[in-house]
Amino acid sequence: MNVRGLEKSYGPNKAVAGIDLTIQPGEIFALLGPNGAGKTTTVEILEGFRDRDRGEVSVLGTDPGVKGEQARKWRNRIGIVLQSTNDAGDLSVFETVAHFAKYYSNPRGVDEVINAVGLTDKSKELIRTLSGGQRRRLDVALGIIGSPELLFLDEPTTGFDPEARRAFWALIQDLRKSGATILLTTHYLDEAEALADRVAVINQGKIIEVATPALLGGRATSLATVSWKGANGIQTERTDNPTALIRKLTETYKDEIPELTVKRASLEDIYLEMIGGADVSQ
């Protein structure tokens, strides 16, 4: 996927202000940004749901603005999990997934997909009887039923309990092993860290940085925070050499350093610093 000089405005508001982006085949790529940063507009343009004002975009070698038969062939190669969908509530889970499978030339097995998203026990249940988390799993099933080469995931684990989220992560990693490219948007920073090969931070319509989760924002070389309990309570010091500080503390305390902790900046810490402390949530 290649994006060069992408721009999109709504009246005087420039939602996307000249984005350049390259996503490699087989990569899990996370796009992070606060609400209103231009993230959703960018993804909708890549999905072919929204026109752009300027710029060049190639998704699986095709301009997503393509029309007609070429558009149908292109959509046969992608999968999309939107933030919210309206399902036919009077169909069962199996009937719904089987119906969507007919739209693709090379669908996965219906039972296989239902099992992969953890809905086997609900296969015969009507959609309107499902919980919010179960409906979200169904959204994921509909996104992957076509064996997509490229999968768009927009806040995919919203409503999942912790166990379901970990199961979903394993599913996404399996899809990547099969060769699929995945573009993920999420407000769970631990999710981006667990899944993404690289992340991009977008704010005010511009990409601030693209890097691996470990290196984003100079995270690998950020100062460590060392805390311990001293004579006057908890003491804290930031240092680029925590080992030397701990060695010095050991000389002072001669034994165990009380309540010692050493912490490097988390991905969330770095992200919030990069966007100026804006809310992570959508």
Question: 245 and 201 in one domain?
Answer: no
Q: Which of these three, 217, 238, 271, is where a domain ends?
A: 217
Edge to edge, what strands does the sheet with 198-203 contain? 78-81, 150-154, 181-185, 28-32, 198-203, 206-211
Residue (of 33, 16, 7) closest to 203 by Cα position: 33
3-state secondary structure of 218: helix
3-state helix, strand, coil in the chain (%, to 5): 35, 25, 35
Asked if residue 276 belongs to a domain, the reply is no
pLDDT recorded at residue 164:
77
Asked if residue 154 belongs to a domain, the reply is yes
Question: 120 and 106 in one domain?
Answer: yes
pLDDT recorded at residue 274:
85
Q: Which of these three, 189, 217, 245, is where a domain ends?
A: 217
pLDDT recorded at residue 151:
94
Is residue 279's pLDDT more than 60?
no
Instruction: Give the CA distances from residue 51 to residues 39, 223, 228, in Å, rounded to whole numbers and listed in that order.
Output: 15, 43, 55
User: Quick check: 21 and 56 in contact, CB under 8 A?
Assistant: no
Tens digits of per-residue pLDDT, 138-170?
888 999 999 999 999 988 887 777 887 888 888
Asked if residue 268 belongs to a domain, the reply is no
Rounded Cα–Cα distance for residues 205 and 258 (Å): 47
Question: In terms of DSSP H, where are the helices of the chain?
Answer: 39-47, 68-75, 93-101, 110-116, 132-144, 162-177, 189-195, 242-253, 267-274
Tens digits of per-residue pLDDT, 69-118?
999 999 999 999 876 656 667 899 999 999 999 999 999 999 999 988 88
pTM of the prediction?
A: 0.81
Rounded mean pLDDT, 125-137: 86
Question: 160 and 37 in one domain?
Answer: yes
Question: 93 and 207 in one domain?
Answer: yes
Ramachandran angles phi, psi of 98, nearest 5° = -65, -40
Please provide the average confidence, as pLDDT, over all residues in the chain: 88
Rounded mean pLDDT, 192-199: 93
Confidence tier at 179 by pLDDT (50, 70, 90): confident
Rounded Cα–Cα distance for residues 98 and 234 (Å): 59
Confidence tier at 281 by pLDDT (50, 70, 90): very low
DSSP state of 205: T
Question: 232 and 204 in one domain?
Answer: no
Domain that residue 156 falls in: 2-217
User: Quick check: 55 and 19 in contact, CB under 8 A?
Assistant: yes
